[in-house]
Amino acid sequence: MASRVAIVSMGWYGFKSSVDELSFREMMFEAATRAYETVGLDPRRDVDAFVSCQEDYWEGIAITDEFAPEPVGGVLRPTLTVAGDMLQGVAQAYMMIKTGYFDVVVVESHAKPSDITTMHGIFEMALDPLYLRPLNPPNMHFLAGLDAAAFLQRSRLGREHLAMVVAKNKRAGLSNSRASHAAPLSPDDVLSMEPVVDPLTRLDIAPFSDAAVVAVLASEEAARRFTDTPVWIEGISWITEAGTGALAWHTIGAMPGLRVAAKRALAMAGVSRIDTDTSFAEVDDRYSYVELLALEELGLGSPDEVARMLEDGDLDPGGYYPVNPSGGSLAAGVALEATAGFRLLEVYERLLAGGYEEGRERGVVASWRGPPTRTFSVAVLGV
């Protein structure tokens, strides 16, 4: 049996609408330095490989991989780029360590959406050039709108449930230093707004944030060298439902890909039910409806049951099963591929804070790469 894999340290920088004082490389350096200093790790000596998670068009640089090594200490070392979200990068590092060949692997992801002045144009580039681009969609939220409408119809939930998610997360973020979009909102504030794409209002759509996140992963043996408090990756899975050129194959109003990823990650961790075997979850909420849909696909309950928990405050930060106690992306923003890194960081820190019932010392991360993709990742962390 190969060694277990742990996160031994994490560092971050930013989580603001615009980080003007630093370039993306300097943000990466700041996040990396923080992650390394905490555990006294020298990246030039102690790390076997580096994984950077980024995409060319997000960066505005063709072959953005060029800029991956320096800021994290990866010069002349095994360094690679994953064109995927940070959890997919963590999955690569996890497997690399599991081979037994790598002991310590660093995973980095960063986002500077504030550098992009034509976000809609970039989104358009992700659409199938032959079928979707000629339709010239008026805004980039139309896919989420379709998905949300189909979900509400299938679940017979209403806009008020989406508004409750928004209010819960925006408020939860008030106590999180990374949640710069937090606000003391009520569901009525959301319901009183005009939809951007029915049924989603501006408040149902998470804004963007600039951020960099770095995680240090290690084999069990190596982890003990750096810390007394490793956080174990007990389960991890990533699933692509279909390509963005095959949107017709996507299931609208459900996320079966997330269901498969969740099933595998939970099985790996030996979790039969998230609410009995884990203590909380950080799940995708780049659109308010996604949180409810994700909870259904994670097996927390039917949409009805999830909605009832939401109404009863069970999903609040102090509730029976807190969901996005960090405030989620609705409060901390979507940091492109580092969004999954944000959720990972929240679960990591919350687990380290401790105080969990025996048998539930775990947290769940569930991530979607966002439209137009149908790629989902799920991880179970435990202490």
Partner 1 sequence: MVGKDVKLPGTYLKGDEMYKLPGLVEHRPEAKYEFASGQAQGRFLQGLKEGKILGVKCPRCGRVYVPPRMYCEYCMAPTTEWVELSGEGEVHTAVVSYISTFRARLEKPEIIAVIRLYAPGYTGKPDEYEFPGIFHKLCNVEPDDVVSGRIIGARVRPRWRPPEERRGSVTDIECFEPVVEG
Partner 2 sequence: MKPNIFVKDRVAVVGAGITLFRRRLLETPRELAWEAASMALESAGLTLRDIDCIVIGSAPDAFDGVHMKGEYLADGSGGVFKPTVRVYVGGGTGVFVPIAAWWHVASGHCDTVLAVAEEKMSPAHPHPQGVFAYIWDPILERPLGPNLIWIFALEMRRYMHKCGVKKETIAKVSVKNKRNALDHPAAQAAARITVEDVLKSEVLVWPVQRLDISPVSDGAAALVLARENVARRVTDSPVWVEGVGFTLDNTHWYNRELAYPRYVNYAARMAYKMAGIERPWKEIDVAEPYDPFDYKELHHIEGLMLARPCEAPKLLEEGWFDRSGELPTSPSGGLLGVGNPIAAAGLMKVAELFWQLRYEAGARQVKKPVHLGVAQAWGDLMQAGTVIVLGN
Q: Cβ of residue 249: shortest distance to partner 2, in angstroms?
A: 7
Question: Choosing among partner 1, partner 2, none, which partner's interface includes residue 342 (Cβ < 5 to 8 Å by kind)?
Answer: none
Question: Choosing among partner 1, partner 2, none, which partner's interface includes residue 118 (Cβ < 5 to 8 Å by kind)?
Answer: partner 1
Q: Cβ of residue 59: shortest distance to partner 2, in angstroms?
A: 9
Cβ atoms of 343 and 283 closer than 8 Å: yes
Q: What is the CA radius of gyration of the chain?
A: 19
Q: Is 61 in the site for partner 2 (CB under 8 A)?
A: yes
Q: Is 147 in the site for partner 2 (CB under 8 A)?
A: no
d(CA 132, CA 144) in angstroms, rounded, equals: 15
d(CA 220, CA 160) in angstroms, rounded, equals: 46
What string of DSSP letters covers 135-170? Answer: G--SSTTHHHHHHHHHHHHHHT--HHHHHHHHHHHH
**Chain residues in the site for partner 1 (CB under 8 A):** 19-26, 29, 32-33, 36, 42-44, 57, 60, 69-71, 73, 75, 112, 115-118, 120-122, 124-125, 129-130, 133-134
Q: Cβ of residue 116: shortest distance to partner 1, in angstroms?
A: 6
What number of CA atoms fall less than 13 Å from residue 120's CA on the CB side? Answer: 7
- In this complex, which beta carbon is closest to partner 1, that of residue 17 or of residue 229? 17
Count residues contacting partner 2 (CB under 8 A)? 66
Cβ atoms of 286 and 339 closer than 8 Å: yes
Q: Is 208 in the site for partner 2 (CB under 8 A)?
A: no
**What six digits make up the tokens of 193?**
């707004």
Q: Is 238 in the site for partner 2 (CB under 8 A)?
A: yes
d(CA 53, CA 238) in angstroms, rounded, equals: 14
- In this complex, which beta carbon is closest to partner 2, that of residue 65 or of residue 189? 65
Q: Of the candidates 62, 134, 136, 357, which one interacts with partner 2 according to CB under 8 A? A: 62
d(CA 255, CA 377) in angstroms, rounded, equals: 12
Torsion on CA atoms 260, 266, 272, 273, rounded to nearest 10: -80
- In this complex, which beta carbon is closest to partner 1, that of residue 122 or of residue 193? 122
Q: Of the candidates 82, 144, 218, 298, which one interacts with partner 2 according to CB under 8 A? A: 82
278 three-class SS: coil
Q: Is 282 in the site for partner 2 (CB under 8 A)?
A: no
Which residues on neighbouring strands pair with residue 16, listed in sequence order? 210
- In this complex, which beta carbon is closest to partner 2, that of residue 74 or of residue 325? 74
Tell me the CA distances in angstroms from 22 to 25, 274, 275, one per residue in order. Answer: 8, 39, 41
User: Element (H or E) spanning 7, and its range?
Assistant: strand 5-16
Question: Choosing among partner 2, partner 1, none, which partner's interface includes residue 242 (Cβ < 5 to 8 Å by kind)?
Answer: partner 2
Question: In the complex, which residues of this chain contact partner 2 (CB under 8 A)?
Answer: 2, 48, 50, 55-57, 60-63, 65-70, 74-84, 88, 91-92, 94-103, 122-123, 125-126, 128-130, 237-246, 249, 256-257, 260, 369, 372-375
